[in-house]
Structure 1
Amino acid sequence: MMNRLRVTPGPVLALTAVWLATRALMSWLLTHDSSPLLGGGSVPREVWRLYFHWYGVLSHGAFPAHDSTWQYPPGAGAVLLAPGLLPWLTYFQAFVVLTLAADALIAAALVRAGTRPGRSLFGATVWTCGLPLLLHVPLARYDVQVTALAVISLLTLGRSPRAGGVFSALGALVKVWPGLVLLGTPRGPVTRRAWGWSVAAGCAFLALLALSFDNPLAFLREQGGRGVQIESLGGTALNLARHAGWSGRARYQYGAIELVGPHVPAVATTSLALTAAALGLLLLWRVRARHWSPATPYDAALAAVLLFTVTSRVISPQYMIWLIGLAAVCLTSRHTSQRPVAVLILAASALTSVAFPMFYREVVAGSWTGCLLMLARNGLLAAAAVLSFVRLWRSARPPSGKPAPSTQPRPDSDRLPDRALSIS
């Protein structure tokens, strides 16, 4: 402990002040969003109408069955029931308070990681300053809570693969994608422990939920029926096709604005095929990788979630919360290869807010303004995904003609086993 570098309190106090100021502004926007540029009240409606409706169903011991808007794994039920722990507040107020608490937890975890020797506070800065780019949307969705589980999983992985695996499983039970954060664990004991504990914890929690609630797998039926959301890459292509005579239109279904009409099933199938191809690329990287740095698990998590996001049939605005969180984790390490990717993600987040809620009517109408906004946002995301994977691939190949990296512990290794730093 005597060898630890002393960290001046100035940067941490500055980040704390910025976090308090920006979250106060986000909260103000949430309660004063009647302006059309802020969504005309549509942003918080999901909490006090849809989430509260699900809360009532869940409170009676069952998951919503035959509800086309319920498309989430059973762990989401625990998050939606959590506001009931604050009975002196309304459901909406309690939900926002818990979301802010999860946000603060992420910021604190990133600050703690960034103040370790050899680490950086850039990660905490990206989260603190990047999340407000999405305006008030993060406070009215439960993706901050999911991101907290993924961030904690990655940050605890080096010191305790078991804990990292458990948090990843909890996140996956809430919204699936946190299961990807274990992709970059170093081969050997770390991977066996992290993946093993993740599977065991996931099965145990799933069994507990299945015993406690009826219809735990009801979400699968509705998830499989989803089409092409208007904000996805496929949706952008179809929206542009409307200007070339395509006869489709936008319609609200499955809890989102989707495009319906000729060729939509083909676009949806193409998206699924691209997702499968992305999985294949990630598995190929895993097999071919020969060099792990302390940042590799972080970089691999960001690359995986980016690839699955851009190839998805759905790219909702709240998905950017995940990417900002994972980019922030990457930037806690000085070894990361993802710095330019983080810049692209922040730019895409800013454009996301312009598209939703500010000009969402234009996006739905398929006007040139809406199409160009989505083309720019999705172009940035696609570029970020490609760049992220390329830089991950290159970082996993040791320079030719140079000896393998030292197996001595590095300052920001978070106590990963020494052999995890160099895989031959």
Structure 2
Amino acid sequence: MIPRKKLPTLAATWSATRALMLWLLSQDGRTPLGVGGVAREVHELYARWYGVLATGTFPSGDRLWQYPPGAGPVLLSPGLLPGLTYFQAFVTLTLATDLLVAVVLTRAGTRPGRSLRGAALWTAALPLLLHIPLARYDVQVTAFAVVSLLALSRSTRACGAFAALGALVKVWPALTLIGTPRGRTTKEAWTSAAVTAGALLLTLGALFRDPFDFLHQQSGRGVQIESLGGTALSLARHAGWPGQVGYRYGAMEFTGPYVTSIAAVSLALTVAAFGALLLWRLRARHWTPATPYDAALSAVLLFTVTSRVISPQYLVWLIGLAAVCLTSRHTTQRPVATLVAAAAAVSSLAYPVLYDDVVACTWTGTLLMLVRNGLLVTAAGLSFHRLWTAGLRPAGPRPAETRPAPDRHRPHETVGAP
């Protein structure tokens, strides 16, 4: 019962850090927070989309609308809190979701054989991103992924359902199912995800017009300055490359020679990452209770570093998944979680504090992005290496203290079975 003695400290830390994040949000744009405008996305963009969605249609033809249909209900949810402005309601719901994630991680950490390190990481590392998490809906998306993974030991169908709900808001939560143990667990989880996704898509298609218009906008994305490819182009600027930085598709992107080639290389690397994950899944012979968590973090890290876009709020996803890993004493990802936290701290310097330098490709901005993305690449490589190595270990008996509660749907399943 020793871990429970830490609960008041966790609660006090969460309250203090979230109060600080709210204060920073109220100071948005003031010195020393850099360029500011972090809250503008909610004030202007989300609020405008709310007005369109409230009429029963998705933002058709809007180049900034690049999200799956499930994002609609999330952006409409602030309307459930009457008496508040859209911004106030959005921040309130985001903060409530943040608390929910902390509570879920804490409950998981107090089970026998588990750890409160996950709740501690979420509580302490999220504020490293300053007030950005409160002004984006990535906390809500991450909540779906966290609940999905932690539900796996109790209900495979719930795991699949939450993964599908998250994937329909932002695609990446689908990767939480990459590490489900082969056999009945995978069949049930993936089937539940497919059924949930199909039912929700049919519902949204019946309630809203143009639910798939986002596909036209997503295909036009270029190379964002904060991506790995953007870091290479920023370095190239110092070597005489004539490209420029401009505002496109809701982000600062590079334009000029070789940008299309860099984008193609990013896509090829994403395909290669997917192939590596499939090869791991085919060759892995040893599953522990932490393997689904570790695989999810590794997969999202790989897809993040190979993306044409690495926005600062992507670190919210990685912190959430790393926190889930740390709830298990059998995780292989502890050093990866440290790298993710470090990347979050550097990321907040890049945006918003020194974003002018990043946009101008000064040596300060370029080196800052080189460090942030270097940390993420190192984390991705280390994560996959440790996942791969652990999967090839000889299968052994499963630790009794981490065995899931009996499930009437899976009476004789063995997690380590091929």
TM-score bracket, normalised by the shorter chain, equals over 0.9
Q: Match of 1:410? A: 400
Quote the Cα distance in structure 2 between the aligned partners of 1:277 and 1:370: 29
Q: Match of 1:3? A: none
Quote the Cα distance in structure 2 between the aligned partners of 1:116 and 1:239: 47
Q: Match of 2:96? A: 101
Aligned residue runs from structure 1 range 166-315, under 5 A: 166-315=161-310
Q: Match of 2:14? A: 19
Aligned residues: 414
Quote the Cα distance in structure 2 between the aligned partners of 1:383 and 1:311: 13
Offset at 1:41?
Answer: 3.5
Quote the Cα distance in structure 2 between the aligned partners of 1:270 and 1:413: 42
Superposed CA deviations along residues 344-381 of structure 1, whole A, max 9, x for unmatched, are 00000000001000000000000000000000000000
2:415 corresponds, among 410, 413, 421, to: 421
Q: Match of 2:392? A: 397
Quote the Cα distance in structure 1 between the aligned partners of 2:373 and 2:403: 34
* Kept in 2: contact 1:7–1:115 (CA 8 A): no
Q: Match of 2:82? A: 87
Quote the Cα distance in structure 2 between the aligned partners of 1:372 and 1:13: 40
Aligned residue runs from structure 1 range 336-351, under 5 A: 336-351=331-346
Partner SS state of residue 273, structure 1: helix
| TM-score, scaled to structure 1 | 0.96
Aligned residue runs from structure 1 range 312-331, under 5 A: 312-331=307-326
Partner SS state of residue 252, structure 1: strand
Offset at 1:158?
Answer: 1.2
Quote the Cα distance in structure 1 between the aligned partners of 2:75 and 2:34: 23
Partner SS state of residue 32, structure 2: helix
Quote the Cα distance in structure 1 between the aligned partners of 2:292 and 2:141: 18
Quote the Cα distance in structure 1 between the aligned partners of 2:131 and 2:93: 15
Amino acid in the other structure paired with 1:421: V
Offset at 1:398?
Answer: 1.8
Quote the Cα distance in structure 2 between the aligned partners of 1:9 and 1:126: 16
Q: Match of 2:377? A: 382
Quote the Cα distance in structure 2 between the aligned partners of 1:420 and 1:301: 20
Identical pairs, percent: 63
Quote the Cα distance in structure 2 between the aligned partners of 1:143 and 1:350: 17
Quote the Cα distance in structure 1 between the aligned partners of 2:34 and 2:68: 28
* Kept in 2: contact 1:169–1:202 (CA 8 A): yes
CA RMSD of aligned residues (A): 1.2
Offset at 1:92?
Answer: 0.3
Superposed CA deviations along residues 281-324 of structure 1, whole A, max 9, x for unmatched, are 00000000101000000000000000000000000000000000
Partner SS state of residue 404, structure 2: coil
Structure 2 gap segments, 5+ residues each: none
Q: Match of 2:328? A: 333
Quote the Cα distance in structure 2 between the aligned partners of 1:115 and 1:193: 27
Partner SS state of residue 242, structure 2: coil
Offset at 1:127?
Answer: 0.2
- Does residue 369 (structure 1) correspond to residue 360 (structure 2)? The answer is no
Quote the Cα distance in structure 2 between the aligned partners of 1:289 and 1:164: 21
Quote the Cα distance in structure 2 between the aligned partners of 1:420 and 1:294: 11
Partner SS state of residue 326, structure 1: helix
* Kept in 2: contact 1:232–1:310 (CA 8 A): yes
Superposed CA deviations along residues 27-59 of structure 1, whole A, max 9, x for unmatched, are 000011231432444000000100000000000
1:63 corresponds, among 58, 61, 67, to: 58
